[in-house]
């Protein structure tokens, strides 16, 4: 079966932003903080672009919620990380590449790609947080992960609803 170029781009986009190189467990507080903060920054970045590029009110509302929730989560994580003397992730070339890819989409194809990305990204980050909860030896990070996991699971549910709507 031959995939259309838009399907291929949307899949590549989802994989890029899903940052599939997540370890099966959080090896250290620094690894978890780095991955969790980078993924939240990616959510914020792509959602800001969704506010600019989408014509759909439901996509824009979802994007606003992602910006608010992930900004709040990163602020809470920054407090924990500072106490542990662990740095947050810095914006990298990946963020620029993600931004450039998302700019290619317009109208329905953008909404489709954004919804697909949100599902994949939230599946990946949920796994990261579940691994941290299961393997953490740092009570402050475990508590943060438990507190934030419910929000991420709700985001995944919302993202799947958008995906169902825009993948028709």
Average pLDDT across each block of 10 residues of the chain; the chain has 168 residues. List them in order. 40 42 60 89 88 93 97 95 88 56 62 90 95 94 96 98 89
Place of tokens 């890819």: 101
pLDDT the model gives residue 41: 86
Assigned CATH topology for domain 5-11+29-166: Ferritin (1.20.1260)
pLDDT the model gives residue 27: 64
Nearest of 21, 61, 64, 12 to residue 43 by alpha carbon:
64
Tokens standing for 60? 């824009």
pLDDT the model gives residue 168: 67
pLDDT the model gives residue 133: 95
- On whether the CB atoms of residues 45 and 70 are closer than 8 A, the answer is no
């Amino acid at each position: 079966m031959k995939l259309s170029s838009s399907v291929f781009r949307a899949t590549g986009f989802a994989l890029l932003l899903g940052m599939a190189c997540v370890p099966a467990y959080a090896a250290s507080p620094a690894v978890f903080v780095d991955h969790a903060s980078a993924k939240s920054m990616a959510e914020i970045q792509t959602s800001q672009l969704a506010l600019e590029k989408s014509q759909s009110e439901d996509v824009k509302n979802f994007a606003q919620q992602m910006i608010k929730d992930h900004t709040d989560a990163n602020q809470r994580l920054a407090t924990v990380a500072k106490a542990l003397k662990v740095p947050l992730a810095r914006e990298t070339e990946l963020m620029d590449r993600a931004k450039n890819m998302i700019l290619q989409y317009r109208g329905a194809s953008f909404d489709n790609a954004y919804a697909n990305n949100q599902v994949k990204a939230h599946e990946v980050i949920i796994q990261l947080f579940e691994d941290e909860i299961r393997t953490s030896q740092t009570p402050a990070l475990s508590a943060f992960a438990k507190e934030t996991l419910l929000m991420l699971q709700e985001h995944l549910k919302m993202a799947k609803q958008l995906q169902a709507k825009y993948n028709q």
